[in-house]
Amino acid sequence: MDSIWIKGGARLQGEIPISGAKNAALTLLPCALLTEEPLTLGNLPRLADVDTFAHLLNQLGVSTSVAGVKKGQYGRKMTLQANDIASTVAPYDMVRKMRASVLVLGPMLARAGESTVSLPGGCAIGDRPIDLHLKALEALGATIELAAGYVKASAPRGRLRGGDFSFPVVSVGATENALMAAVMTTGRSNLYNAAREPEIVDLCNLLVAMGAKIEGIGSGHLIIDGVEGLHGTEYEVMPDRIEAGSYACAAAMTGGSINLIGARPEEMSATLNALAHCGMIIEFHAKGVRVSADSKIRPVSLATSPYPGFATDMQAQMMAMLCLANGDSILEETIFENRYMHVPELRRMGAEVDIHGRSAIVRGVDKLTGASVMATDLRASMSLVLAGLAAEGETEVLRVYHLDRGYERLEEKLSGVGATIERRSAG
């Protein structure tokens, strides 16, 4: 199994191109199910999750073809076409690999009038977000049955109708599924307390380019007038604000200066504000954002919250950075339970972090020390890489398949700004 080896201590300086957003790509791909015409997505990141989703779409009858890319070029262009829906069943062996696979439920239901999708692994209906997906679809007229670990949804007379739904809590995935289902209903739908993340805006913009009628884009109240059908189009995936924020933390932790080419500051303002409070110099320019360290990292208190608040997907990376702050910081995780699994591994490198329920007290230390550590999830993996970049000595990060799910050619990008980092294969 591969690992990432890092020799820490180098000051990182230079440019890093920001890839297409993983979280946006996984939402845009299932839109291919909504039309029989070709959908071409550019700036699609080369990630394990994108490949897994493409394989799932292939099983459902969507053809995929990838245009050739130049050597050294990031991203790719993929054309997807669903002339016919060959199957309306998303099996467990595919969905278990990636929770985002549940996003085929809404568009298949809209296009084919029925959809059967495995419950994501370990998902208990009632206290997990999948419950909101189903309730939103029921508000659009869907009939939902649960049996043998599968959700079977059907539309009476083969087509959903317009309806209203108010999300009791903000849910990105449920908003996405409801949107993709609502665009081809009969009548008008209102989604209240909808997620406002930039990735939701990206989805809305693609759907409008395909012929959908959506008002209130970027707000918590989305108004969708259903249309008979959608057409194909070409569309560029938005840049990854989480990847950009991760590399910004790398600049801070190594006392460096990194130019994040393609980053959109307006979509990552909460992260940039947090970095500024920690003493980083933030410069906006026509090509992106430059983040530079000017002094010792200052401590901060942060709580994750839905957009435009501080993203839960940046919590682990920010924690790694605050391990080197000049004082004590407090982090509160309000979105997900048990998202501090990286803490024991950071402690192995000399970090001082105390967990109290959903709160973490991060006591800044003078230095981190390289160690062999194990990744538990995607963002936790990146926090360990960041710690390794700043640590004295050598760090080995195991289970890097987590990193491959969300960071395109990470070693290449970090090597380009001065890091000593390489991928190693066991045996």
Q: Rounded to an integer, what is the distance from CA 10 to the centroid of its chain?
A: 28
Q: Which among 31, 123, 204, 249 is annotated as catalytic?
A: 123
Nearest Cα to Cα of residue 171 among 152, 148, 197, 189: 197
Catalytic site includes residue 123: yes
Q: Was 45 annotated as part of a binding site?
A: no
Residue 99 assigned to a binding site = yes
CA–CA gap between residue 250 and residue 386 (Å, rounded) = 6
In contact, 233 and 206? CB cutoff 8 Å: yes
Q: Per the annotation, does 125 bind a ligand? A: no
Q: At what angle do helices 269-277 and 241-253 cross, to 10 degrees?
A: 10
Report whether 217 belongs to an annotated binding site. Answer: no
Q: Which string of b and e fits 242-254 if b means at least 16 CB within 10 Å?
A: bbbbbbbbbbbbb
Residue 96 assigned ligand-binding role? no
131 among the known binding-site residues?
Answer: yes
* Angstrom distance (rounded) from CA 424 to CA 284: 36
Place of tokens 């939701």: 200
CA distances from 159 to 130, 137, 309 (A): 22, 12, 37
The one-letter amino acid at 315: Q
Instruction: Please report, in range form, the residues annotated as the binding site for UDP-N-acetyl-alpha-D-glucosamine.
Output: 99, 128-132, 313, 335
Which residues are part of a known binding site? Answer: 22-23, 99, 128-132, 313, 335
Q: Would you list which residues are annotated within the binding site for phosphoenolpyruvate? A: 22-23
Residue numbers annotated as active site: 123
